[in-house]
Structure 1
Amino acid sequence: MLSSTPPPHIQGSDSIHTSEDISLYARHHGKLTDEGKHKLLTWDWSPHAGLTSMCSHGQGAPSSPTVAGQVKEGVRLYTYPILQSADIMLYKSTVVPVGEDQLTHLELARDLARAFNRQYGTLFPAFNSYIGYVPKIRSLKDPSSKMSKSDNNAASRIDLTDSSSTVRDKIAKAVTDAVSKDITFDPELRPGISNLIDICSALTGKSSEDIVKLTQDKGMDKKTFKEFVTETVNESIQPISSEMQRILSDRGHLRSILKQGQERASVLAEETIKQVKTLVGLS
Structure 2
Amino acid sequence: MFLPRISSRLPKPRRFIHGTRRNLTNAIHSESSDAPLARKRVILSGIQPTGTPHLGNYLGALSNWVQLQRDSSPNDTLLYTIVGWHALTLPQDPKKLSQSRREMLATLLAIGLDPNRSIIFHQDHNPHHTEFAWILSCLTPFGKLKRMTTWKSRLADSRNANNESEVNESLLNAGLFTYPVLQAADILVYRATHVPVGEDQTQHLELSRDIAQIFNQTYKRLFTLPKQLSTPSKRILSLKNPAAKMSKSAPDVQSRILLTDSHNQIKAKIRSAVTDSITGVTYDPETRPGTSNLLTILGACTNREGSDVAADYRSKGHGELKADVAEAIEGLLRGPRSEFERLREERGYLDDVAKDGAEKARALSEITMLDVRRRIGLS
Q: State the TM-score, normalized to the length of structure 1.
A: 0.83
Partner of 1:268: 364
Cα deviation code 1:52-79 (max 9, x no counterpart): 211111255697658xxxx674444432
What residue in structure 2 maps to residue 211 of structure 1?
Answer: 309
Q: Secondary structure at the match of 1:245?
A: helix
1:97: how far off? 3.3
C-alpha distance in structure 2 between counterparts of 1:18 and 1:80, whole Å? 29
Matches within 5 A, 1:20-59: 20-27=116-123, 32-33=124-125, 35=127, 37-59=128-150
Q: 1:258 Cα deviation (Å)?
A: 1.3
**SS across alignment from 1:148:** coil
1:98 maps to 197
How many angstroms apart in 2 are the aligned matches of 1:86 and 1:7?
Answer: 25
Note if 1:8 corresponds to 2:68.
yes
Could you say which residue in structure 1 is the equivalent of 2:324?
A: 228
Q: Partners of 2:357 and 2:230 in 1: how far apart?
A: 22
Give the direction of change, closer, same or farther, for the CA distance of 1:205–1:122 in structure 2 (3 Å limit): farther
Deviations 1:145-191 (A, max 9, x none): 2211222322111111111111111111111112x222222222111
User: Structure 1 regions of 5+ residues with no counterpart?
Assistant: none
Q: Is 1:121–1:279's contact at 8 Å kept on the other side of the alignment?
A: no
Matched, 1:194 2:292: yes
Q: Secondary structure at the match of 1:174?
A: coil
CA distance in 1, matches of 2:357, 2:348: 14
> Residue type of the partner of 1:188?
E
Distance 2:172 2:338 in 1: 44
**How large is the Cα RMSD of the aligned pairs?**
2.8
- Structure 1 counterpart of 2:222, one-letter code: T
Q: Which residue identity is paired with 2:281?
A: I
For structure 2, which runs of at least 5 residues remain unmatched after alignment?
1-57, 79-112, 153-163
The match for 1:121 is 221
CA-CA distance at 1:207 after TM superposition? 1.8
The whole-number CA distance in structure 1 between the counterparts of 2:269 and 2:172 is: 38
Count, aligned residues:
269
Are the counterparts in 2 of residues 133 and 201 from structure 1 also a CA contact under 8 Å? no
Deviates most, 182-191 or 161-170: 182-191
Alignment-derived partner of residue 184 in structure 1: 282
Distance (whole Å) between structure 2 residues aligned to residue 25 and residue 117 of structure 1: 28
Quick one: which amino acid aligns to residue 292 of structure 2?
A: S
| Contact residue 149 and residue 157 of structure 1 kept, 8 A | yes
